Amino acid sequence: MGHVTEPRIPARDSRRFLRLALALSDQARALLKDTVLGAGDIAVKPDGSYVSTADTRIEEAWREAIRSACPDHDLRGEEYPPDGRGSAWEWVLDPIDGTDNFVHGIATFGTLVALRHEGIPVVGVIDHPRLDIRVSAAQGLGTRRNGQVLSVRDGDGPGLPLVLATAPENFSKGGRPELFCRLAQAFPNLRVYRDCFMQSTVLSGQAAVAVEWHAQLWDVCAAWAIAAELGMAFVSLDGPPDRYQVIMGQPRAVAAVQDVI
């Protein structure tokens, strides 16, 4: 079965909440199946990122489903204000991660569902509807990609580790504009993969490290839960308030990237 974390929540809760997270991912796929966006369905936020009617429609549906199944749980998502009651449980939602890719017809966008217990991510699902790729995990239950159990390889490949990084503009926004060039010099095979496709590629074992910079909680929470259950390293570095600077992947490769940073 591969690596499984020591449970901090009852197994019945892991199973129940993973089923709900997977159902939410299915719900998003169904809503996106026949979506055709017109010019009036797309807007640009103050930070320059896109939002579409599909983003808001999915998050509204998710919030309704969670309130029905878990009325005492808190909710945090990208498109609407937090809904908090001081619960130990908090769902963290990104209805479309990579809306810019989505509106341009690029299939690497995804939907992200995560659940935290007392601030610790314990359930995560990264789903790519157009690619039919889904990576999921729940604490104590292992990690799967399209139903196949995943495990971690740690530094057993030839040459330098394959490192994936977010776009250079995110390093500039996070106050480290020089960092992208430093990574590219240290790892000449550096790839720029945007959004959660970078995360699912590393979690699936197709690359060694993902470097996220200037991300929001909902951008990284699902990957955090999955990486923990898989036995990957997940390092969150200091940065601007409410932003996440993350290195995740095979432990030895993550250590090598940390040395460069």
CA atoms within 13 A on the CB side of 123: 27
In a domain? residue 158: no
Tell me, yes or no, whether 130 and 34 share the same domain: yes
Question: Which of 87, 116, 149 represents a domain boundary (last residue)?
Answer: 149
Q: How confident is the model at residue 239 (pLDDT cuts 50, 70, 90)?
A: confident
List the CATH number of the domain containing 171.
3.40.190.80
pLDDT at 1: 43
Question: Which of 94, 120, 149 represents a domain boundary (last residue)?
Answer: 149
In a domain? residue 157: no
- pLDDT-above-90 percentage for the chain: 79
Tell me, yes or no, whether 245 and 167 share the same domain: yes
Q: How confident is the model at residue 215 (pLDDT cuts 50, 70, 90)?
A: very high
Q: Which range in 46-55, 99-108, 225-234 is most confidently predicted, on average pLDDT?
A: 225-234
Mean of all residue pLDDT scores within the chain: 92
Q: How many domains does the chain have?
A: 2
Task: Report the range of poorest mean pLDDT among 36-50, 123-137, 210-224.
Answer: 36-50
Question: Which of 127, 149, 171 represents a domain boundary (last residue)?
Answer: 149
> What is the domain range of residue 86?
11-149
List the CATH number of the domain containing 108.
3.30.540.10
Tell me, yes or no, whether 127 and 190 share the same domain: no
In a domain? residue 55: yes
The answer to whether the pTM exceeds 0.75 is yes
User: For residues 76-87, b (16+ Cβ closer than 10 Å) or e, as one string?
Assistant: bbbbeeeeeeee
Cα dihedral across residues 195, 197, 203, 208: positive or negative: negative
Tell me, yes or no, whether 97 and 210 share the same domain: no
